[in-house]
Amino acid sequence: MRGVWAIVVLDLKRFLQERARLVAGLMQPLLYLFVLGAGLGASIQHGGADYRKFIFPGVVGLALLFTATFAAITIVFDRQIGFFKAVLVSPVSRAAIGVGKVAAGALQAMMQGVVLLLFAPLVGVHLGVVEVLAVLGAMLLAALTFSAIGVALASRFTSTTVFPIMSNAVLLPMFFMSGAMYPLAPAPHWLKALAHLDPVAYAVDLMRQALLGSGPGIAFFPVWLDIAVLVGVTLILTWAAVRVFARGEEVNLGPTAFPWRK
Amino acid sequence: MCAAIIPAVEVEGLVKNYGKVEALCGIDLTVGAGELFALLGPNGAGKTTLFSILSTLRAPTAGRARVLGHDVVAERDTVRRSIGIVFQEPAIEQSLSVRDNLRLIGSLYGLKSSDVRRRAEELLAKLQLTEAAGRKARTLSGGQRRRVELARALVTDPGVLFLDEATLGLDVDARRGFWKHVRGLANTGRAVVFATHYMEEAEVADRIALIADGRIVALDTPQALKARMGGGVIRLRTEDDARAREWLTGRGYAPAGAREILLEQNDPASVVPILLRELPMRVERVEVHAPSLEDVFLKLTGRGLEDEVPASEGKKGGWR
């Protein structure tokens, strides 16, 4: 546990030192909520509800997704500069490294998500204590899943330039297929089928039900399925990252590393 | 009956292949407690790969390695607790203070915070870093950073310390100070194994393994290695080295060296006038000196320690 704690504390210290990241991370979700939401909301009514209210859980999901996933860039950066070696030669278990990194990314995302929750009343989402607790639980589970996606990806990259490009290539389709910005129920069959394969869809669905209830047009999956998928994906991806960490340096050295030696 | 003394490091028949490339081709060596042991060889010789295996970052393809009696594959966690390592690359967190960096390592090793604090303050004082302790690592000078790296490696009080090209980028004064600290560590009974391609650094070691192309080509004390070269060495450069080599070989000399001609002689002072008089080509430079480790390396491998490796050797993604 102390190893997990050490990794979490390190990453949180780094995150809090970069306050610009905290602010910049809020810009995109707020633009979606107040600019896109206002623009599209003028012509779209969802079941009589305000469009901005409908997309609010999706916008929180967006903030969680990108913050949690990009938090894992510290793995790539540490590997590039050599600091990760100091972690790998320590007796801290590889599982603790994986869990610590996932937890650290999730906590960073939660900080962003909690700030966004403060905007809920502005879009007509009024929360009681029960709703707040429910949505915090849903957000934490979503953040852990997204962080695990980031850690699993980052464990395989050695370039801080390539990692964000590849992450965007994976994350943006996941976000757009998730139903964060539109209801999935009336969507085409192919899109609904893809949403079933998309962890972000389950996370948004869970947060939407926690924030807006499970009435018609709100819930797409049963809550138990949302939770089961998110827990399953988190465990599998964390395990995959731990397996990569367990290989130490071997993962990064290809067969052509010593081409000068015949 | 005396208890058996466990060597600090034991390596037997160690092989490491990367695909078809042999990085280590059967390394054997033993390092005793309190010994200052150097691995001297050019870039790409296999030193870093050997350190990676000894520090459990890579697994050997064949052979075995033990640190303080613990197998580096079967007992990884025990080995990790027993060693400290300074890498070629910086391995301190730049955004943290010096003190926080040391505490972080203590946490990763599961040490009690009071023990880590005490140990960190001792090391900071010993390595003259107390004044810099509150500064962020990114604001330190090169020499200070290397000392912080050393403190990081020592904060867990390891039985064996590995230093991989630990003085890269340091000026002469900073290097001298660094090695003074390291010598002090070995004097307290801790085994120190270091890799370098600087001959003068290797001279501080109790024993040196000369390593080239993944093989140990010689292993002995600095004095014994140099004694293999006889009384002295003549370094010769002519207007046509290839023809000069032929001429020398034809007269019973044994010219060595790749970039310049190297002649090992028991009485070089008497040979030089003969060469200058009889060589059928113009001599551009001639030097006579006591044998150095560079000479030994040249004699054994035909290459210099500072020889640049081909461009294709470049590091892959910062890992080696």
Q: Are A112 and A26 in contact (CB under 8 A)?
A: yes
User: What are the residues facing A92 on neighbouring strands?
Assistant: none
Would the pLDDT of A170 be above 60? yes
Confidence grade of residue B92 (pLDDT, cut at 50, 70, 90): confident
Would the pLDDT of B3 be above 60? no
Confidence grade of residue B306 (pLDDT, cut at 50, 70, 90): low
- Secondary structure of residue B157 in the 3-state scheme: coil
Widest pairwise Cα distance in chain A: 73
**A75 vs A54: CA distance, rounded Å:** 35
Interface touch A83/B93, C-beta < 8 Å: yes
Share of chain B above pLDDT 90, in %: 34
Interface touch A3/B104, C-beta < 8 Å: no
Single out the residue of B190, B192, B200 nearest to residue B170, CA to CA: B200
Q: Which residues of A fall within a CB distance of 8 Å from B45?
A: none
For residue B317, what is the nearest residue in chain A, using CA coordinates?
A: A158
Interface touch B95/A261, C-beta < 8 Å: no
Of A13, A253, A261, the CB nearest to B213: A261
Residue A218 is predicted with a pLDDT of 83
Per-state percent for chain B, helix, strand, coil, to nearest 5? 35, 25, 35
**CA angle, B100 then B106 then B107, to 5°:** 90
Interface touch A83/B18, C-beta < 8 Å: no
Q: Which of the pair, A29 or A150, is modelled with greater confidence?
A: A150
Q: How many other β-carbons are positioned within 10 Å of the β-carbon of residue A94? A: 19
Q: How many other β-carbons are positioned within 10 Å of the β-carbon of residue B77? A: 13
Q: How many other β-carbons are positioned within 10 Å of the β-carbon of residue A49? A: 14
Please name the residue that has the structure tokens 């990692």: A163
Of A7, A88, A259, the CB nearest to B312: A259
The arrangement of strands across the sheet holding B21-31 comes to: B21-31, B9-18, B62-67, B70-71
Q: Kindly tell me the burial class for residue B3, based on how many C-beta atoms sit within 10 Å of its own C-beta (0-12, 13-18, 19 or more).
A: exposed
Tokens of A162: 């390539």
**B14 vs B278: CA distance, rounded Å:** 49
Of A6, A85, A86, the CB nearest to B107: A6
DSSP annotation of B183 reads: H
Would the pLDDT of B94 be above 70? yes
Would the pLDDT of A232 be above 70? yes
- For range A74-83, the mean pLDDT: 84
- For range B254-278, the mean pLDDT: 83
Confidence grade of residue B4 (pLDDT, cut at 50, 70, 90): low
Would the pLDDT of B228 be above 70? yes
Residue B195 is predicted with a pLDDT of 92
Axis crossing angle, helix A223-246 with helix A94-117, rounded to the nearest 10 = 140
For residue B110, what is the nearest residue in chain A, using CA coordinates?
A: A2
User: What does the radius of gyration of chain B's CA atoms come to, in whole angstroms?
Assistant: 22
Confidence grade of residue A191 (pLDDT, cut at 50, 70, 90): very high
Average confidence score pLDDT of chain B? 85
The dihedral of CA B6, B8, B13, B14: what is its sign?
Answer: positive
The amino acid present at B219, given as its one-letter code, is L
The Cα of A169 is separated from the nearest Cα of chain B by a number of Å equal to: 22
Would the pLDDT of B316 be above 60? no
Would the pLDDT of B318 be above 60? no
- For range A18-38, the mean pLDDT: 80
Tokens of B119: 């140990």
The arrangement of strands across the sheet holding B261-265 comes to: B261-265, B232-238, B283-289
**A7 vs A96: CA distance, rounded Å:** 8
Average confidence score pLDDT of chain A? 85
Give yes or no for A257 touching B (CB within 8 A).
Answer: yes
The Cα of A45 is separated from the nearest Cα of chain B by a number of Å equal to: 48
Interface touch B23/A250, C-beta < 8 Å: no
User: What are the residues facing B66 on neighbouring strands?
Assistant: B10, B71
Find how far residue B295's CA is from the centre of its chain. Answer: 17
The Cα of A146 is separated from the nearest Cα of chain B by a number of Å equal to: 25
Q: Which of the pair, B28 or B318, is modelled with greater confidence?
A: B28
Single out the residue of B86, B85, B50, B54 nearest to residue B72, CA to CA: B54
Q: Which residues of A fall within a CB distance of 8 Å from B20?
A: 255
**B230 vs B296: CA distance, rounded Å:** 10
The predicted-structure confidence for B54-71, as pLDDT tens digits, reads as follows 999 999 999 999 999 999
Q: Which residues of B fall within a CB distance of 8 Å from A256?
A: 19, 21, 316
Give which of B81, B107, B149, B315 to mutate to test A binding, by max A Cβ within 10 Å: B107
Q: Are B101 and B152 in contact (CB under 8 A)?
A: yes
**A77 vs A163: CA distance, rounded Å:** 10
Would the pLDDT of A234 be above 80? yes
Helices (H), B188-267: 199-202, 222-227, 241-250
Residue B312 is predicted with a pLDDT of 38
**A251 vs A42: CA distance, rounded Å:** 52
Residue A46 is predicted with a pLDDT of 58
Single out the residue of B107, B81, B103, B120 nearest to residue A5, CA to CA: B107
Residues 84-143 of chain A with CB under 8 A from chain B are 85-92
Interface touch A82/B57, C-beta < 8 Å: no
Q: How many other β-carbons are positioned within 10 Å of the β-carbon of residue B226? A: 18
ipTM above 0.95, yes or no: no
Give yes or no for A160 touching B (CB within 8 A).
Answer: no
- For range B244-252, the mean pLDDT: 89
Of B18, B81, B104, the CB nearest to A257: B18
**B157 vs B266: CA distance, rounded Å:** 47
Q: Are B105 and B146 in contact (CB under 8 A)?
A: no
**B232 vs B230: CA distance, rounded Å:** 6
Interface touch B56/A261, C-beta < 8 Å: no
Would the pLDDT of B146 be above 90? no
Residue B305 is predicted with a pLDDT of 66
Chains A & B: contacts with CB separation below 8 Å: 126
First to last CA, chain B: 45
The Cα of A111 is separated from the nearest Cα of chain B by a number of Å equal to: 20
Would the pLDDT of A260 be above 60? no
Give which of B55, B68, B72, B93 to mutate to test A binding, by max A Cβ within 10 Å: B93
Q: Kindly tell me the burial class for residue A132, based on how many C-beta atoms sit within 10 Å of its own C-beta (0-12, 13-18, 19 or more).
A: middle
The Cα of A242 is separated from the nearest Cα of chain B by a number of Å equal to: 14
